[in-house]
């Protein structure tokens, strides 16, 4: 772990193994931190905040620029580490490292754009001044599916704002966090500004983040269920929170869209990271008049996808995170088939070419999916594309919005009038219109309803780490 500028073991002296989900092999081990460790990290961050919060925006920016350059230099090492630990194909890991580095670059620049303002006052002897100040010590919890970019998406704006950080990475992917913290150390960040606590069982860490009075803000990316528990506990102590939670994204293909172009797009985004992305399309609504050519094109592309170890060339489908994930995906597929869905391709665990040692599931396409199936309501987080048909714009808009989630949605149509109507009518925080990648470091990322609170990325992302202070001056 990394606490107060020092690499250290857990107070308990115990460690836990990290395994490769593609092979089942142990690839390393890390300290198994507990309450004592996270308290020490919080204390270090609170002490460091006294000086870090007083640094100039230019000083904080310089640290972030150095960290960015180091990430780019170590891009291949970080990508290989990620593929071994998380499982995604190496090309996807390289893309994520670049995406993660982009947040450090963006917030190196955004640090110098934390503006205040003066306001007109109602009295002649009064002047109002508004300033932005860092909230304080931040407790950050990051997920396993994007184990590097989710660190920089939180740590970057926190440091730029003048906050200090204690990070608890996902227990499945702590090695990526260790490599990132080596970069922060090499960038010269002062002791206590960034701290890392790895833990096999995260409950104690979460409890300390929500209860410790020195933590001013909690930022979490993960499941909606865990997010609700953390949010409830944080609310009892009036802590600021940012929550990036689950999704159930609709992918709408209108009757005027090119079905082959749309099928190509959905094949790229649905099976990205083996479907283990919160913005992954979960319900494919295709107009009845073009459903068959869409399904035919999608099937042809999916059948060409190769599963396997992400370090091998030509692999597009990596492993799922664990056995529970495989079981969940398989249960949704079997439930859908039992209720009348048509299995177009896939629908089984991958066991050949050594994949029996990992957590692999075949890329799957289901047709004739209906609303009574589990896959229609539950987030899949796996490589399954369920296709439903619709006949009218009003019908599909109602069905797309019929979910407690509100993170991402996608629309394919060349009609600009329809595109604007759908964009404005969909109750989701991120909407791609003929665009399967509506994200960037410069853009706000976050959801509505049970998909979260707050935004990450863009200028909105740094605002999450700032408090507004008003000065009323009588002259």
Each residue of 41-96: pLDDT tens digit?
999 999 999 999 999 999 999 999 999 999 999 999 999 999 999 999 999 999 99
For residue 455, the model assigns a pLDDT of 98
Please tell me the predicted confidence (pLDDT) of residue 263.
Answer: 98
Cross-strand partners of 128: 119, 472
Eight-class DSSP state of 222: S
Q: Which CATH number fits domain 249-440: 3.40.50.720, 3.40.50.150, 3.40.309.10, 3.40.50.300?
A: 3.40.309.10
What pLDDT shows up at residue 213?
A: 98
Cα 80 to the center of its chain, rounded Å: 20
CA distance 440 to 384: 25
- Cα distance between residue 187 and residue 108, in whole Å: 13
The token pair that represents 100 in the structure block? 């993660």
Enter the tokens of residue 152: 């920089």
Known catalytic residue: 254?
no
Contact residues for 51 (Cβ-Cβ < 8 A; gap 6+): 190
Distance CA 285, CA 391 (A): 10
Confidence grade of residue 414 (pLDDT, cut at 50, 70, 90)? very high
Query: Phi, psi at residue 310, to the nearest 5°?
Result: -65, -15
| Confidence at residue 258, expressed as pLDDT on a 0 to 100 scale | 98
Residue of 96, 200, 244, 464 with catalytic role: 244
274 confidence band (pLDDT: 50, 70, 90): very high
Domain spanning 2-245+451-474: which superfamily? Answer: Aldehyde Dehydrogenase; Chain A, domain 1 (3.40.605.10)
- Residue for token digits 């300033």? 131
Spatial separation of the C-alpha atoms in residues 185 and 70, rounded to whole Å: 11
472: confidence class by pLDDT, cuts 50, 70, 90:
very high
10, 31 Cβ separation under 8 angstroms? yes
Q: Which pLDDT band holds residue 434 (cuts at 50, 70, 90)? A: very high
At 163, the pLDDT band (50, 70, 90 cuts) reads very high
Any catalytic annotation for residue 109?
no
47/113 Cα distance (integer angstroms): 26
Q: What is the pLDDT of residue 16?
A: 98
The residue whose two tokens read 């993960």 is: 222
Helix (H) or strand (E) holding 40, with range, is helix 35-52
Looking at residue 171, its pLDDT comes to: 97
Give CB contacts under 8 A, 24+ apart, made by 8-16.
10/34, 10/37, 11/36, 11/37, 11/40, 12/36, 16/171, 16/200
The structure tokens 């205040």 sit at 116
Q: How confident is the model at residue 115 (pLDDT cuts 50, 70, 90)?
A: very high
Query: Treating both helix axes as pointing N-terminal to C-terminal, what angle do 259-270 and 291-303 enclose, rounded to 10 degrees?
Result: 40
411 sits in which H/E element: strand 408-412
Share of the chain above pLDDT 70, in %: 100
Residue of 278, 379, 393, 456 marked active site = 278
pLDDT range class, residue 106, cuts 50, 70, 90: very high
Domain locations in the chain as residue ranges: 2-245+451-474, 249-440
Res 51: pLDDT: 98
In angstroms, the CA 44 to CA 56 distance is 21
Mean predicted confidence (pLDDT) in 160-188: 98
Q: What are phi and psi of 335, to 5 degrees?
A: -60, -45
Q: Which residues, other chains included, contact 206 with Cβ-Cβ below 8 Å and sequence gap of 6+?
A: 141, 168, 226, 229, 230, 233
Residue among 226, 189, 196 at smallest CA distance from 210: 226
Average pLDDT, the chain: 98
232: tokens are: 């409830």
What's the pLDDT band for 458 if we cut at 50, 70, 90? very high
pLDDT in tens, 254-264: 999 999 999 99
Question: Could you tell me the pLDDT band of residue 287, with boundaries at 50, 70 and 90?
Answer: very high
């Amino acid at each position: 772990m990394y606490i107060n500028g020092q690499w250290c073991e857990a107070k308990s002296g115990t460690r836990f193994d990290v395994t490769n989900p593609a092979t089942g092999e142990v690839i390393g081990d890390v300290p198994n931190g507990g309450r004592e460790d996270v308290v020490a990290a919080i204390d270090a961050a609170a002490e460091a905040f006294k000086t870090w919060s007083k640094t100039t925006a230019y000083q904080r920016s310089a640290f972030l620029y150095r960290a960015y350059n180091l990430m780019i230099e170590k891009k291949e090492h970080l990508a290989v580490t990620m593929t071994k630990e998380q499982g995604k194909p190496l090309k996807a890991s390289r893309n994520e490292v670049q995406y993660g580095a982009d947040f450090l670059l963006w917030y190196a620049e955004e640090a110098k754009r934390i503006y205040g303002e003066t306001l007109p006052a109602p009295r002649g002897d009064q002047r109002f001044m508004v300033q932005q100040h860092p909230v304080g010590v931040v407790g950050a919890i990051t997920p396993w599916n994007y184990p590097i970019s989710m660190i920089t998406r939180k740590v970057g704006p926190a440091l730029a704002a003048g906050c200090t950080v204690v990070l608890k990475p996902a227990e499945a992917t702590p090695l990526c966090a260790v490599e990132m913290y080596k970069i922060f150390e090499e960038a010269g960040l002062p002791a206590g500004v960034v701290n890392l606590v790895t833990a096999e069982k995260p409950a104690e860490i979460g409890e300390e983040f929500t209860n410790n009075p020195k933590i001013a803000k909690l930022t979490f990316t993960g499941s909606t269920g865990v997010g609700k528990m953390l949010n409830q506990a944080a609310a009892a102590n009036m802590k600021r929170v940012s929550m990036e939670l689950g999704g159930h994204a609709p992918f709408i293909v209108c009757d005027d869209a090119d079905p082959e172009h749309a099928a190509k797009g959905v094949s790229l985004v649905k099976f990205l990271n083996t479907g283990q992305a919160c913005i992954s399309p979960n319900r494919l609504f295709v107009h009845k008049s073009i459903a068959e050519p869409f399904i035919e094109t999608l099937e042809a592309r999916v059948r060409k996808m190769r599963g396997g170890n992400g370090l091998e060339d030509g692999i597009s489908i990596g492993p799922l995170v664990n056995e529970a994930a495989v079981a969940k995906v398989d249960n949704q597929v079997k439930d859908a088939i039992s209720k009348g869905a048509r299995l177009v391709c896939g629908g089984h665990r991958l066991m050949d070419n050594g994949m029996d040692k990992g957590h692999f599931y075949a890329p799957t396409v289901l047709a004739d999916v209906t609303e009574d199936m589990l896959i229609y309501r539950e987030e899949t987080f796996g490589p399954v594309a369920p296709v439903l048909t619709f006949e009218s714009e009003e019908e599909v808009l109602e069905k797309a919005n019929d979910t407690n989630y509100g993170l991402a949605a996608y629309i394919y149509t060349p009609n600009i009038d329809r595109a604007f109507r759908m964009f404005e009518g969909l109750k989701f925080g991120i909407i791609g219109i003929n665009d399967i990648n509506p994200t960037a470091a410069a853009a706000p990322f976050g959801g509505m309803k049970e998909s979260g609170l707050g935004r990450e990325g863009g200028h909105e992302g740094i605002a999450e780490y700032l408090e507004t202070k008003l000065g009323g001056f009588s002259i």
